[in-house]
Structure 1
Amino acid sequence: MTDSTTRSETEEQRSRALEATLTLVARSGYQATTIAAVAKEAGLSESFILWHFRNKDRLFAEALEYSYRKRRSTSPSWSEVVPPEKRAVALRHNALGLTPPSAEGTEYRTFGLMLGLESRPVQPTARLRFTEFRGRTLSAITSWWDRSLRIEDAIERMAAAELLGNLTLSAVDGRFINSVFSELDRDVTTDIIVAGLEGVATRLEERPSASLELPPAAARAVASLPPAGPTQHDETSTRIQILRAAESVASDIGIDSASIARICKKCGCSPTSIYWFFKDKDAIFEALIEFLHKDWNDTHPRASKVGTPWSDDPLLEMMAHSLWRYSGAANLMRISLMLFLHSEDTHTVTREECLRVRAELCREWQDSYSRMFPELQHDETLTHGVAMVHAAVSDGLFISQQIAGGNGSMTAYTWVLSEFMDAGIRSVLPTRGPEAS
């Protein structure tokens, strides 16, 4: 056997190990994927894995980079110079063709977003690697916007480009993650997102200072938001303390890694106490999602429950309330999104509960937009598409905030998302007859 043949076989085995790692992480999460499981999945020995990758941390980092480099060869470079009048066409070409999570080369994004949503005390090398790769993409998109905006002042133009870069990547990430668990109309969502980004860009060209400070109308809408309400649960009860511990552990490292032992350690109770209230781990997390949903509705109620007037600028005020409400469910959103990124055959009962909560939230957004745009009331498919874009961008902005290590309110995006959705929706509304003009 020649040296070249040996090297070829070794590379093939390494690739099998990396592919197996990506498969198992998507199925079970970071913590639950072991070197032994990877070796079994790849049909290799554990000693081979350890010899070539040393440890789990390095194995996972190399698996993520392996998937990233496979995908990069077919990904847009965002390097072209695009005149403003051709931005929308270039946006559609560059970023917004829907790439299903099952497509080859998307594993790095699925894996990276899982790690990005976690909040471990010590960050795995794979998460740092994903943050680096995502940062490169964000930088390329920001530079693309900087070259295409009609803003003379360089500082204002870069501020606008950074805002649009973050919004663009958030829309792409958010639509990717929503396509995991929802049926998305590719054409409708693409039309809305492209027109929405172009609408925000045009607004920033007209008023560049909007990227540096919240416009007065948006500031008033945010200032008028109610304070968070009190929780209606007895936080001293053992059952609630167990659920709060499960919430804390799962939001940090995901449901797969949130063992009974970790929950016991967090709440300071014995396994017997947990099994008194819950028959198993699945029962804990099914109850947790239901608990967090009710608690969220108590502390950050829907607009219809607090008498929001929506008078001066209905869409702007609705958006402020929607983002305030979303910010109040950070752990519910984080746990749900991490679970959605896993394969569908894990934690099915908890997943179904998360999907039920998400469906209720989607209906809430559909109702809100139908009030803002009466034309939507006659097209259920279009209204669903609008709600899914709202979900995608909200999720994407939340993920971006989590990856950056922030935990503030998302209401800073009130005018941006309002302008984005207004422009996007108007681009897909049915053509009106002469009598409507």
Structure 2
Amino acid sequence: MAQRKTDRKNRQGEQTRERILEETMRLAARHGYEGTRISMVRKATGLSASSIYWHFSDKEQLIAAALERAIGAHLQVIPTWPEFASGEDRSADLYGQIFQWPREDFWRFGLQLAVVRPPQEAPARDRFLQIRRESIDWLARWWKPSLPELMEQRGAGSLLLGTLTLAVRDSYFLRRHAGWNFDENRIVWMLALSLDAMADRLGELAADSEIVIEREPPQPAERAAAENGRQAFLQAAEEVIAEYGYDGVTVARVCERAALPASSLYWFFKDKDELVAEVVAGASRKWEAVRPVLASRPGRGNADWIAPLRAQLRDVLAGTSAGSGILRLGLLLLLRDGSRASVGAGQLETVMANMQAMTTEWFATVLPEEASEEQRSELAECLSECLFRFLEGMLLSRQIDAHTWDPGLLADMLAVGLHRAAVQFLAGSEPPARN
């Protein structure tokens, strides 16, 4: 009898713990690390604070455990990825298995943790970074056998392809894509075709001569001296956001970083929201400077638009590879839950939508005249979406990972990959049926 009571009590305790972790992950995915409070977990679960603290000593331990639980559930349901074998269809495997990982909100939350640079240890962030590195390493091992056996840079090349593959998946979690009227299956299929062609291109380039795959990471820019109090607060707010995220901005943190009193802040800004809105507005203007603007048009029906696309992407990728706190601010904004009101989010999304519309127009101009107007229109939209997913995913990767890939090589591979996908689209290539 006593044993049954003990077992029942243990089961109830485990059920309570599971409920706490489930609600914590749901709240963290929506509100971010800084925005999640124990009081919110208490309200969501209906439990007392003492019940929560019985299982977890503090918020850091609670969120780390919630993320660990979500990761464990994720690893149990992901498909068994196939090992590469000569003659198998890589693009079909990418489309049917690798790109179809469960799209759980915990991954968006993990990306938010990964993009910031907290000044103190963060176990939840470290755990997610470990899982993300393991994912890239697995994908690199999947790609490696498909590269030429005699390729001297086979290891670095497979790591680049693994990074590109995960970057495409990461881009799904940026808010800009929510609500866009795309045939997601079509987009994923074209991304798979592009990556397949990019791997072929990497092998071709390496067969001809040694190529630059990795570059030395750029040195971080020195902190600019603020000209006045207003600029000092804006610069301090940028740094606080980069370390804690938007939900971690407090007047106290900004004033401490700016080395100015709170009374001075309110002289320039009505409140914290106005300060953050100005930071976001500045980020939007600077973000626009690194978006692809494909202005030079070879003319309708140009048979080879790889060269002009490659040339312009090289400049774009060179700019983003240098890294920037401003780019990090934009990514953090776009990684926020779409159901939450975000100061300045609409402005940044408008900038991005305008840039993508211009890119779509460029693609429509260079596609073959033999294609119907409807085909050109649909294909141009798909190519533009694929391009931006690659660019945004790589930009996100650049803010998280230590590797810096050669912009010229990336531009070449990406231009070739998109061109191959376009050719197969016009040839009637359709996404394969899923099992």
Question: TM-score scaled by structure 1?
Answer: 0.81
Superposition deviation, residue 268 in structure 1: 2.6
Specify the code of the residue in structure 1 equivalent to 2:14. E
Aligned counterpart for 1:19 among listed residues 17, 22, 28 = 22
- Alignment deviations for residues 307-335 of structure 1 (CA, whole Å, 9 cap, x no partner): 99x99921110111222344577334322
Distance (whole Å) between structure 1 residues aligned to residue 306 and residue 25 of structure 2: 50
Segments of structure 1 that go 5 or more residues without pairing to the other structure are 220-232, 433-437
- The 1:281/1:362 distance shift into structure 2, 3 A limit, reads farther
2:286 and 2:93 map into 1 onto residues whose CA distance is: 43
The answer (yes or no) to whether the contact 2:356–2:385 under 8 Å persists in 1 is yes
Pick aligned residue for 1:269 from 235, 241, 260? 260
Task: State the TM-score, normalized to the length of structure 2.
Answer: 0.82
Post-superposition shift, 1:410? 5.3
Q: For 1:22-72, what per-residue CA distance to the aligned partner results, in whole angstroms no more than 9, with x for missing partners?
A: 122122211221223222222222223222222222211111111111122
Alignment-derived partner of residue 416 in structure 1: 413
Which residue of the partner structure matches residue 389 of structure 1? 386
Mapped to 2, the partners of 1:145 and 1:261 lie a distance apart of 48
- Determine what percentage of the aligned residue pairs are the same residue: 26
Change (3 A) 1:426 1:123: farther
Aligned to 1:160: 157
Match of residue 94, structure 2, among 91, 97, 110: 91
Where does 1:3-402 land on structure 2 (aligned, <5 Å)?
A: 3-97=6-100, 101=103, 106-147=104-145, 149-153=146-150, 155-177=152-174, 181-183=178-180, 184-208=182-206, 213-214=211-212, 236-295=227-286, 313-327=307-321, 330-373=324-367, 379-402=376-399
Aligned mates of 2:253, 2:39 — CA distance in 1: 22
- CA contact under 8 A between 1:296 and 1:329: conserved in structure 2? no
Look up the equivalent residue of 1:204 and give its one-letter code: L
Cα distance in 2 for residues equivalent to 1:418 and 1:296? 22
Q: Does the C-alpha gap of structure 1 residues 286 and 53 become closer, same or farther in structure 2, counting only changes over 3 Å?
A: same
* Alpha-carbon contact 1:17-1:49 (below 8 Å) kept: yes
SS of residue matched to 2:107: helix
Which range is displaced more, 79-88 or 31-40? 79-88
Structure 1 pair 329–373 and aligned structure 2 pair: CA distance change class (3 A): farther
Deviations 1:87-133 (A, max 9, x none): 1211111222385x5xxxx1321111111111112241011111111
Q: Distance in 2 between matches of 1:270 and 1:28?
A: 29
State the distance in 1 between where 2:406 and 2:159 align.
19
Pick closer, same or farther for the CA change 1:111–1:210 going to 2, 3 Å. farther
Taking the aligned partners of 1:152 and 1:25, their CA distance within structure 2 comes to 45
Deviates more, 1:50-59 or 1:79-88: 79-88
Q: How far apart, in 1, do the equivalents of 2:61 and 2:110 lie?
A: 15
Aligned to 2:220: none
* Whole-angstrom CA distance in 2 between matches of 1:305 and 1:389: 18
> 8 Å contact 1:115–1:127 — kept in the other structure?
yes
How many positions carry a matched residue from both structures?
A: 408
2: CA distance, partners of 1:119 / 1:180: 25
1:121-149: per-residue Cα shift (whole Å, max 9, x none)? 224101111111112222221111123x1
Q: 1:65 corresponds to which letter in structure 2?
A: E
Q: Structure 1: how far apart are the matches of 2:325 and 2:227? A: 20
| Paired residues of 1:191 and 1:427 also in contact (CA < 8 A) | no
Alpha-carbon distance in structure 2 between the residues aligned to 1:273 and 1:380: 53
Q: Is the 8 A contact 2:118 2:244 kept in 1?
A: yes
Report the Cα offset of residue 340 of structure 1: 2.8
Name structure 2 gaps, 5 residues minimum: 216-223, 299-303, 430-435
Quick check: 67-76 or 404-413, which moved more? 404-413
